[in-house]
């Protein structure tokens, strides 16, 4: 089946499927409800690193790590169909910009999402970084002040996922703890674009991207278990770029006040460009992480480790190692304070671009 036919069939299937899931006539039991929620973070960074050029020699920084709000609408028809929409507004740059926008439909048959939001491969996986307390540790904002010298693998997760590009996503109902999700993204460079051309950005991004997620969530007495597998696959628009083909697995166990989680991901040579291959062949992009967390009422503490690497032909491997500890405390509803400490070791493909750093982060956050 050629690419064009595959796109037509997938798009047609989604539209027809939606029509079957919404029998006519459909009347709302009551008007849609509207709500607003948001968050804001302020963080102070204190960093000591061998490569001080990246931070201009400054050892301390203060920044708004994150701020934004969501506009959410939700309704329910008299036949049981639940439907809604979300628009996420981001103010991190000092101006208001739209980050995500999506409409959704759900019922006993599952959930269908249409729009700009993370795909199944982005939301159904888990790894150790999910348990990091405080500033997020190796899954947080260290790259704001630490120079990673363009190391290939610097954090957990699928770096070549479809992101917030316009897509169709379907999640099955959870049966015996198991849920499956699949996403189709025609073009990963199309994020809310209108008037689409054949390629939104010629020879850029990934086309016909498929994101797959499978997870298992279950509790047995006082023990909770979460297992996941996510896959990202798509065709590079540029013929000189490697296709996207990566996966990750994760596991988490909760017992009492203690939670333990770990993850592993492999991206092979996904996304490698022809220019990069001329200079150095990047292959075997992998990462692994592990975190243990203790939670007691409003307080959480955690300790975690992350290791990322990539094989680079003609030179030593890219290696990034993190050791992170963190703590957070909920002062009042919607208000928390936190701190984190990271020890970071960056070995950059045998060049002089290595870097060692220690980072202390102190912050406060509000959610509403």
d(CA 43, CA 342): 15
For the segment(s) 3-367, the CATH number from 2.40.160.10, 3.40.50.720, 3.20.20.10, 3.65.10.10 is 2.40.160.10
User: Three-state DSSP class for 207?
Assistant: strand
Tens of pLDDT, residues 37-66: 999 989 999 999 987 655 556 788 888 767
pTM of the model: 0.84
Buried b (16+ CB within 10 A) or exposed e, 214-238: bbeeeeeeeeeebbbbbbbbbebbe
Torsions phi, psi for 267 (to 5 deg): -110, 0
Tens of pLDDT, residues 226-271: 999 999 998 887 776 778 889 999 999 999 999 999 999 998 777 6
Split at pLDDT 50, 70, 90, the class of 173 is very high
What mean pLDDT is predicted for residues 344-361? Answer: 84
CB 251 within 8 A of CB 286: no
Q: Which residue has the higher pLDDT, 16 or 97?
A: 97
Q: Which residue has the higher pLDDT, 38 or 155?
A: 38
């Amino acid at each position: 089946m050629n690419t064009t036919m595959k796109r037509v069939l997938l798009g047609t299937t989604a539209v027809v499927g939606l029509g079957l899931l919404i029998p006519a006539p459909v009347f709302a039991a009551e008007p849609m409800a509207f709500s607003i929620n948001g968050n804001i973070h302020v963080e102070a960074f204190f960093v000591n690193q061998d490569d001080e050029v990246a931070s201009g020699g400054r050892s301390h920084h203060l920044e708004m790590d994150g701020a934004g709000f969501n506009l959410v609408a939700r309704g329910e028809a008299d036949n049981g169909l639940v439907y809604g929409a979300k628009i996420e507004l981001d103010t991190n740059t000092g101006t208001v910009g739209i980050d995500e926008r999506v409409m959704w439909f759900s019922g006993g048959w599952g959930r269908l999402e249409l729009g700009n939001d993370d795909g199944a491969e982005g939301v159904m996986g888990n790894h150790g970084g999910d348990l990091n307390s405080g500033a997020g540790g190796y899954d947080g904002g260290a790259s704001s002040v630490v120079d990673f010298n363009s190391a290939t693998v610097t954090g957990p997760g699928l770096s070549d996922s479809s992101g917030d590009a316009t897509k169709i996503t379907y999640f099955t109902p959870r049966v015996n703890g198991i849920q499956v999700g699949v996403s189709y993204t025609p073009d990963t460079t199309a994020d809310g674009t209108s008037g689409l051309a054949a390629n939104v950005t010629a020879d850029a991004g990934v086309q016909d991207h498929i994101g797959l997620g499978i997870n298992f969530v279950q509790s047995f007495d006082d023990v909770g278990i979460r297992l996941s597998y996510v896959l990202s696959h798509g065709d590079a628009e540029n013929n000189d770029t490697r296709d996207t083909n990566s996966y990750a697995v994760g596991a988490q166990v909760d017992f009492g006040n203690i939670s333990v989680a770990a993850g592993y991901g492999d991206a092979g040579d996904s996304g490698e460009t022809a220019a990069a291959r001329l200079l150095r062949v990047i292959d075997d992009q992998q990462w692994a992480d592990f975190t243990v967390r203790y939670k007691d009422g409003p307080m959480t503490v955690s300790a975690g480790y992350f290791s990322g690497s990539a094989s680079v032909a003609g030179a030593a491997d890219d290696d990034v190692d993190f050791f992170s500890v963190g703590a957070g405390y909920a002062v009042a509803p919607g208000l928390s304070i936190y701190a984190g400490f990271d020890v970071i070791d960056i070995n950059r493909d045998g060049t002089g671009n290595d870097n060692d750093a220690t980072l202390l982060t102190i912050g406060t956050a509000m959610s509403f």
